[in-house]
Structure 1
Amino acid sequence: MPLHEPQQPFTWHLREHMAAAGMFKTTDLVEPLREAGVHLSREQVYRLVTSPPARLNMEVLAALCQILHCTPNDLIHVNTARSGLHETRRTGTSNSGASVGELRPIPARLRRPPSE
């Protein structure tokens, strides 16, 4: 019986954008990153390109977007169809049934103490 790998919460499209920019080897990205002020080894760039990163430095993401002329949304696609991700939880003592999006703020009444 094959084991099913849990679905990643996002899809990483760096390799596709590199190919569209004419970069077909992971080492093609090392020098442009260095010129953008991001110093990564060849091994780090290889891991960044070939597998979805667990964590990503914002400077690296900004440099990738600058080099590939894209946005973070182009590089990262969030997979929303995960089971158990959108469980409804209620907190507090209110049983009104209204969700957070339906609640409206109540204007505050400020009262100053009488001045003497």
Structure 2
Amino acid sequence: MKKNMSIRWNLRKLMAARDLFQTSDLVPLLAERGVHLSREQVYRLVAQPPQRLSMDTLAALCDILAVTPNDLIEVVEVKAQVAKPTASGETASSEPAPPTRRTRVRRPEGL
């Protein structure tokens, strides 16, 4: 069975717990710790899980919020649907099969 893993990014929740509701509030706090990001970069950092995160940024966020990396990033298992084989050996799909239509094949006259 294949395990699919994902992360849960808790930055927005942790910011709210410390009364930081504006993403722009993080810009000067990060700058104090030597991490210089634009307002747009900080917004993306807060709004969605980052694909890449520098260790300096991670350390600064942990210091600002008084948390550990485990508080900020949770690894979670994503439940994947596995198609079960039918009696004929084919895998059943979640979409219904298209309706069947009977057709009649007629030979042209004279053949």
> Is the TM value for this pair above 0.5?
yes
> Larger C-alpha radius of gyration, 1 or 2?
2
Structure 1 vs Structure 2 CA RMSD: 1.8
TM-score (norm 2): 0.66
The match for 1:37 among 16, 34, 38 is 34
Distance in 1 between residues matched to 2:74 and 2:7, nearest whole Å: 5
Identity %: 58
SS, match of residue 79 in structure 1: strand
Q: Does structure 1 residue 28 correspond to structure 2 residue 25?
A: yes
Q: Distance in 2 between matches of 1:37 and 1:68?
A: 16
Q: Is the 8 A contact 2:5 2:78 kept in 1?
A: no
Q: Which ranges of structure 2 fall in alignment gaps of 5 or more residues? A: 82-111
SS at structure 2 position matched to 1:78? strand
Paired AA for residue 78 in structure 1: V
Aligned partners of 2:6 and 2:59: how far apart in 1? Answer: 21
Q: Residues 65 and 71 of structure 1 are in contact (CA less than 8 Å); yes or no, is this contact kept in structure 2?
A: yes
Matched residue pairs, number?
78
Q: Please give the alpha-carbon distance, in whole angstroms, between the structure 1 residues aligned to 2:60 and 2:71.
A: 14
The corresponding residue for 2:75 is 78
Q: If each structure's strand is expressed as a fraction of its own residues, which one has the higher value?
A: 2
Find the partner of 2:60 among 58, 63, 82: 63
Q: Which amino acid aligns with 1:65?
A: C
Q: Provide TM-score, normalisation by structure 1.
A: 0.63
Q: Deviations over 1:16-59 (max 9, x none)?
A: 00001110010010000000110000000000000000011010
